[in-house]
Every structure is written in structure tokens, then in C-alpha cells.
Chain A
């Protein structure tokens, strides 16, 4: 405790590999660790989705080595339904928690939040390190469930009781795997709570002279607000997981009602309700969706201004307002996941109105982004392309929210592929595009080498078209009433839809394969990429006023004084932008 010095105190880098790269207290190393973890997770999750898609397209296809992944088994390497469901569960859990939460928030946030506010490190470096290693432990725990007892759980990333809460009786994977799942998520919550504490404190307390709240870049704002959401949202999932573990391992019945009959005999449970889990889970779950998307929203608005060479329309104030409004609303709407769950019909209406209202701040936000593109001098580097792509996919995903926010329409569309398309577009793909944009934009700073633009552009085009080929058809499947979470389509009204699934599968495999271009680009850059200048993109925020990569204390002990907000682009003069650290008289500001 006592020797964890505040950021500005230590200017000497630690000695030795372990202290430098493994148990490092340096926020930059921790950021890279988070990013690496997310990278590992995203490729695991992607491979799982490949297997799922293959099974949906060609049910009887034998996939070599399939039996290795799960005890749920794949006789003759042909996927069984429970195997499919466990893959689906792991895909969802890995992607939502360890990719969409880790990369944009914990990864980039850890690396750049302190730099962008002009601090030498996080407020609590030790705690920061702890938060990563707890998250890492959570990931390992989750991965272990592949190898325990009867394999990973099959109750989906939402782990609905009573499927998840009665133990092995409810199906394969529910014996040990589900317990591991619950422990992993509980650990993850702890890690995120520690991280949130750190983010908030750093943003409020470690800002360099002149870095007023109004001058903070939108990325910092997004990370800060997201940390605030996470601080209270994960504090809700943690007890929920504890209750789930109690139900599973100590025979309590928080989520189990009386009179359930499993394997022919009546269970001893009494007094619980599966609805309670849904309430607790979604009360966390909806804020979680925003934890996943808001950082990307900030990253994109930040990068777009750099690419467009003009300040954001409405400036930091409007965008921050939108994000704040969304953050507050995110706590009022969780019931729209439960319209048909036996929820009180009146509260369904109560929930649907704020859900629809959420579209307002996001619409305004998107309009601000599009308005920024108007009249810009767009530099089409990969980062900018991905930011523009983000706008497109975010719109595509957001629009379908209009349907699902209405209980009356949800009666038909609930639990169909329409929902899958919706949240993949608006949460997964959009957030991933933000991550890609951030990667191409910041990698030069993070590893000191420029990424290959040609490969980057190829990666963008194929990904951009690919995701539309994967997820747009899912809307049509939803319209036709195609139920999600089905391991096979045997119902008469689903059989005609299988060709569409085949198409989606092909698209998914192709788009997934494209991601290896990105991986190669990253790998190649790390070792053989050309050295990066300090400010390759002519950007203004503080991270570009230091070397690439930054020294251990970020600014080489320089005394920073911030004179401008982060979006002084398109100004007169030799260079069309003003760094935040430039002298005050450089602009009428």
C-alpha cells in the first residue's frame, strides 16, 4: 500500500522483465495487457462462432477435432445440440465481457486516459494491476469450464434461471461448467469495479494544468462516463452471481420456485422466482450494453474529427450530453429485455417509453457525426474509414431498436434472429469497428511503429461488406419468425430458411478469415513496421505531444500546460490544427 506512489512521483522505470511486463504497475503496459487479452478472446470467440455457423448451415458436417473442445461431445465430430448451445454460451460470454468491455474501455482507456488528461499514471497503479490480473483470472476460470466435468454451460450468456440455477439436472454443462461461469463473471465484476474506481479518480484528480473538464477529449469523457456506469452496474451483477452460486452450491432457492419436477421427482426448492434473476441480470445487462458501445462512440467521434480536419459539430458539449443522457436512461429500460417474460403488462409499457426515448440522444449523436463529415477534408486513412463505417453500422443496428422497443411488435420479433441482428450490429459490430479504428489510430503511439495502410484498407473493405452480408440477412430471418438459439431447424416454417443460413455461414467464414489480415498486420507492424513519428495524424490531443511510444512517465517529466480544447482543426496558418499544449495566443480561444 504505502509504497504505491502517486503517478507523478516515480520517474524511474522498474527493472527486470517481471516488473516491466508482467506484474507491471505502468498503465501503458496494463492497457496493452488488456488489449492482448481482448485480442486472444476475440479470436477464440470468433472460432466458436465459425463452428456454430457451420453447424447451422450444414448440420451433419463433421468438423475434425471438434470433440477436443467439450465433453458435451461430438460423436464422429458431428456437433450435438448441447454442444452447439455451449458454444453459443461461451461465444456470448467471451465476446460481451472479455472483448466488448475489455478492449475499448479497459484496453484503450488504461493506455490513453492518463495520457490524455496529462497524468503520468493512473491514480492507483497497484489497484490497476490488480484489476487486470483479476480479469485475467476470470478469463482463465471461464476457459476452464471447457475442460471440467461435462463441459461448458449451455444456458446462454444471460444464464437464465432455472436452467442455470438447478445444477446438473437441467442438462449437460449445467453441473460444474455453470458454476465456473458464475465464478468467472463474479471475478470479472470485481476487476471492473477496481478499474472503474481508478478511471474516475484519475479523470477527476490527475488532470494537467489547464485541462479543464470542458477541454477533455471525447474519448476521455466516454471512458469516464462508462466507468461511472460500470461502477454501479457491475455492483449489481456481483450480488446476482453470488446468489446464483448460493443457489447452485448451497441449495438455496432464490431463483427456484416450488413444485419444479426434475427427472421425475419434485425438487426441494421453494419460494424463489426465475424472474428475479432476469431482473437482476438485465438491470446490469442494459448498462452493460452501453459500457460496450459508449467508449467506441467516444473513440469514433475523436478519430473522425482528426480524419475530417474539422471540429466536431456541436463540439464536446453536445456529444457529451448525448452520452450522459444515454448513460442515465440505460438504468431505466432493462425491462425491455423481458416484455414477454411474464412481466407485469403495465410495466412493459412503462419500460418501452424510456427505451424509445433513448433513441433521441443516440440519433442526435449520430447526426452530429454525420454533420461533422459535411464539408470536411476527409483523409481516408484506415482509422477514418472505420470511423465512417461505424456510423453506418451503428445506424443500421440502432434503427431496428425502434421495433424491439415496442412490446406490441416485440411479441412477434422477441427471440427471433431479428434481435440477434439488432444487438450484433449496434453493440458487437459497432463496438468492434470502434476498436479497429482505435487500433489503426493509436497503434503507432502504442508500439511506436506505423501499421500497414494497404493491408488496413483491404481489411476495412472486406470487413465492412462482410458484416452486412452476415447480419443484414438475419433481419429477414427474424421477419420470417426464425427462432434464435436453435441448434437445428426442423420446424416446417424454418426449413425453407436454411439456404439463408448457408449464405450467412459463408459470409461469416469469409469475414472471419479477413480478420487474420488484421492479425498479420498487427504482428508485422510490431516487429518490422516503419518507425512512427510523434504525431503521424496531425492530431491535437496530449498523447500526440509525446514520443511514440511514450516514456515511462508519459511526458518525460515535462510540465504540461493545456491551453486549448482537443478539437482545434481547420484553423488558418501553416498547420491546420492547434495542439492542446500549444501556447494560448495560437488561437482566439
Chain B
């Protein structure tokens, strides 16, 4: 978001810009991160709490419910597994993009970002397909066709929905990044910070998949 004039957290000369620019000496940042990277980390921490709270609340109700239903057949689990693999792979391609950016290899970086966007989109599509399949079976955010507690439906669509929202906004962010990085508005550091967000989306799924899918598998 901001240019990284105090990126190394030690004394830095700020280039001429605006009126009366001058040498600015800053106190070292205890983290030695650029501000925007630190901000992304802080955002990730708070977003982690947000998802944590949702998962806790869902588990709270599940622990307290007497009529829980285990809806997921093998097909859904397989689908979920594939989605997980895709998301993991997208993280890998994103890493490749970051490394390419570090070596200022714009073309390779953009190619890898492209792959990441593609994988993210596939994930979203698979996810929505799963959803509409469930809608077809009579599921809705407020109702459970199996007659068990509707809290499962609410939790599933609520939490995966919020995650899907993160994925989609991530895809959009990556697209903007690609364009702006291409015409030189954004630099390699933006690639890195955006990758942090993307990995976090992946990270959340690592908990959503076992808690939302595996723990509800029809065994």
C-alpha cells in the first residue's frame, strides 16, 4: 500500500519528492518489516481470530446438539480433497511468482501469478458446484433435509461462504496486482505482501476442510 521508505528499519535517505524534501532518520522498527508487510501480518492475525471465533461458535453449538447429521458422502470428501490440493498448488505457484519477482523477472512472475489466479478460480468454481449440488439436495442455509440440526447447514454455508469471499477477493486482488505490476505501478514488494494474504486464505482452508468436511463425513 505504501512505498517502503523505512523497509529495513534503519536509517534511510528519502529521495527528493514533494516540496522541501530532506533526509529523514527513523528509529529502527522492532520487526524490521516494511510497514505494509507488518500491516498485512496484523490483518492476518485479526482475520485468523475472526475465522477462529466462527469455528469455535460452530463447534460450540455442535458439541451442544443432540441430533447431528453426517451428510458428506465419499464424493463430497473427494471433491473437498481436490479443492484442498488445488489451493495448496496455488500457494506454490504464488511462491514461484514471488521468487521470480525477487529476481525482477517480470514475465515469469506474471505467468505464475496467472497460474495462481487460474487455480483460485477453479477452486471457487468447484466450491460453488458443491454448493449448488447441495442446494439441489434440498440444503439451504436455514434447513437440513436430513432432519438433523440445521446449525450444520448454517455453519457450513456461513463459514465456507466467508472463506469463498476471501478467495474471490484474493483472485481480484491478484488480477489488479498483475496489471499494476505489469505497468510498473506496483513493485515486487507488493507481490510479496499479496502472496502473504493468499497463503493465509490457504491456511484458513487447512482448518475449514477438516472441521467442516471431514468431521461431517458419513462414516
Direct A–B contact present (CB less than 8 angstroms): yes
Additional pairs, 15, CB under 8 Å, beyond known A1-B1, A8-B24, A231-B42:
A9-B17, A12-B18, A124-B1, A204-B31, A205-B35, A207-B27, A232-B46, A238-B50, A239-B54, A251-B142, A253-B150, A271-B61, A271-B149, A271-B151, A561-B25
Taking CB atoms, residues of chain B closer than 8 Å to A369 are none
Q: How far is the CA of A127 from the CA of B162 in the complex (A)?
A: 22
- Determine if A4 is an interface residue (Cβ-Cβ < 8 Å): yes
Q: How far is the CA of A250 from the CA of B61 in the complex (A)?
A: 18
Taking CB atoms, residues of chain B closer than 8 Å to A236 are 49-50, 53
Cross-chain contact of A204 among B20, B30, B53 (Cβ < 8 A): B30
- Determine if B135 is an interface residue (Cβ-Cβ < 8 Å): no
Q: How far is the CA of A11 from the CA of B14 in the complex (A)?
A: 13
Interface positions of A from 24 to 46, Cβ below 8 Å from B: none
Q: How far is the CA of A208 from the CA of B27 in the complex (A)?
A: 5
Q: How far is the CA of A212 from the CA of B27 in the complex (A)?
A: 7
- Determine if B180 is an interface residue (Cβ-Cβ < 8 Å): yes
Taking CB atoms, residues of chain B closer than 8 Å to A254 are 57, 61, 151, 154
- Determine if A356 is an interface residue (Cβ-Cβ < 8 Å): no
Cross-chain contact of B38 among A204, A246, A273, A561 (Cβ < 8 A): A204
Q: How far is the CA of A99 from the CA of B2 in the complex (A)?
A: 31
- Determine if B79 is an interface residue (Cβ-Cβ < 8 Å): no
Taking CB atoms, residues of chain A closer than 8 Å to B186 are 1-2
**Stretch of B3-11, B83-91, B110-118, B208-216 lying at the A interface:** B3-11
Interface positions of B from 125 to 159, Cβ below 8 Å from A: 141-142, 149-151, 153-154, 158
- Determine if B65 is an interface residue (Cβ-Cβ < 8 Å): yes
Asked whether, in the complex, the Cβ of B5 is within 8 Å of the Cβ of A6, the reply is yes
Q: Which 8 A-B pairs have the closest CB atoms?
A: A271-B149, A251-B142, A252-B154, A271-B151, A207-B27, A235-B46, A235-B49, A209-B25
Q: Mark A276-291, 1 if CB is under 8 A from B, else 0.
A: 1001100100000000
- Determine if B75 is an interface residue (Cβ-Cβ < 8 Å): no
> What residue of chain B has the Cβ atom nearest to residue A189's Cβ?
B50
Asked whether, in the complex, the Cβ of B154 is within 8 Å of the Cβ of A253, the reply is yes
Asked whether, in the complex, the Cβ of A239 is within 8 Å of the Cβ of B53, the reply is yes
25 contacts between A and B (CB under 8 A): A4-B2, A6-B2, A9-B14, A123-B2, A126-B1, A127-B1, A193-B43, A197-B42, A197-B43, A201-B38, A208-B27, A209-B11, A231-B42, A235-B49, A236-B50, A240-B53, A240-B57, A242-B162, A243-B57, A251-B142, A268-B142, A271-B67, A272-B61, A272-B151, A557-B20
> What residue of chain A has the Cβ atom nearest to residue B57's Cβ?
A276
Asked whether, in the complex, the Cβ of A250 is within 8 Å of the Cβ of B142, the reply is yes
Known: A11-B19, A205-B6, A209-B26. A232 touches B49 (CB 8 A): yes
Taking CB atoms, residues of chain A closer than 8 Å to B65 are 271
Classify the interface of chain B: helix, strand, loop or mixed.
Answer: loop
- Determine if A270 is an interface residue (Cβ-Cβ < 8 Å): yes
Rounded to whole Å, the gap between the CB of A166 and the closest CB of chain B is 13
- Determine if B105 is an interface residue (Cβ-Cβ < 8 Å): no
Residue from the set A12, A204, A208 with the largest chain B CB neighbour count within 10 Å = A204
Asked whether, in the complex, the Cβ of B46 is within 8 Å of the Cβ of A206, the reply is no
Rounded to whole Å, the gap between the CB of A226 and the closest CB of chain B is 14
Taking CB atoms, residues of chain A closer than 8 Å to B11 are 209
Asked whether, in the complex, the Cβ of B185 is within 8 Å of the Cβ of A252, the reply is no
Tell me the B residues contacting A by CB distance below 8 Å: 1-3, 5-6, 9, 11, 14, 17-27, 29-31, 35-36, 38-39, 42-43, 45-47, 49-51, 53-54, 57, 60-61, 64-65, 67, 141-142, 149-151, 153-154, 158, 162, 180, 185-186
Asked whether, in the complex, the Cβ of B24 is within 8 Å of the Cβ of A4, the reply is no
- Determine if A542 is an interface residue (Cβ-Cβ < 8 Å): no
Cross-chain contact of B39 among A124, A209, A240 (Cβ < 8 A): A124
Known: A5-B3, A252-B142, A254-B154. A276 touches B60 (CB 8 A): yes
Taking CB atoms, residues of chain B closer than 8 Å to A207 are 26-27
Q: Chain A, interface size: which category?
A: 35 or more
Taking CB atoms, residues of chain B closer than 8 Å to A11 are 18-21
Rounded to whole Å, the gap between the CB of A8 and the closest CB of chain B is 5
Taking CB atoms, residues of chain A closer than 8 Å to B20 are 11, 557
Asked whether, in the complex, the Cβ of B158 is within 8 Å of the Cβ of A252, the reply is yes
- Determine if A559 is an interface residue (Cβ-Cβ < 8 Å): yes
- Determine if A531 is an interface residue (Cβ-Cβ < 8 Å): no
Q: How far is the CA of A240 from the CA of B60 in the complex (A)?
A: 13
Residue from the set B2, B11, B20, B186 with the largest chain A CB neighbour count within 10 Å = B2
Taking CB atoms, residues of chain B closer than 8 Å to A200 are 38, 42
Taking CB atoms, residues of chain A closer than 8 Å to B25 are 208-209, 559, 561
> What residue of chain A has the Cβ atom nearest to residue B50's Cβ?
A235
Taking CB atoms, residues of chain B closer than 8 Å to A312 are none
Cross-chain contact of A246 among B5, B22, B39, B141 (Cβ < 8 A): B141
- Determine if A10 is an interface residue (Cβ-Cβ < 8 Å): yes
Asked whether, in the complex, the Cβ of A5 is within 8 Å of the Cβ of B60, the reply is no
Asked whether, in the complex, the Cβ of A2 is within 8 Å of the Cβ of B185, the reply is yes
Residue from the set B45, B64, B142, B162 with the largest chain A CB neighbour count within 10 Å = B142
Rounded to whole Å, the gap between the CB of B97 and the closest CB of chain A is 19
- Determine if A210 is an interface residue (Cβ-Cβ < 8 Å): yes
- Determine if A455 is an interface residue (Cβ-Cβ < 8 Å): no
Taking CB atoms, residues of chain A closer than 8 Å to B36 are 124
Asked whether, in the complex, the Cβ of A211 is within 8 Å of the Cβ of B50, the reply is no
Rounded to whole Å, the gap between the CB of A258 and the closest CB of chain B is 9
Known: A4-B2, A254-B154. A201 touches B46 (CB 8 A): no
Q: How far is the CA of A252 from the CA of B150 in the complex (A)?
A: 8
Taking CB atoms, residues of chain A closer than 8 Å to B3 are 5-6, 9
Asked whether, in the complex, the Cβ of A231 is within 8 Å of the Cβ of B45, the reply is yes
Taking CB atoms, residues of chain B closer than 8 Å to A238 are 50
Cross-chain contact of B180 among A2, A198, A211 (Cβ < 8 A): A2
Q: How far is the CA of A559 from the CA of B13 in the complex (A)?
A: 12
Asked whether, in the complex, the Cβ of B29 is within 8 Å of the Cβ of A204, the reply is yes
Rounded to whole Å, the gap between the CB of A28 and the closest CB of chain B is 18
Taking CB atoms, residues of chain A closer than 8 Å to B61 are 254, 271-273, 276
Q: How far is the CA of A236 from the CA of B55 in the complex (A)?
A: 12
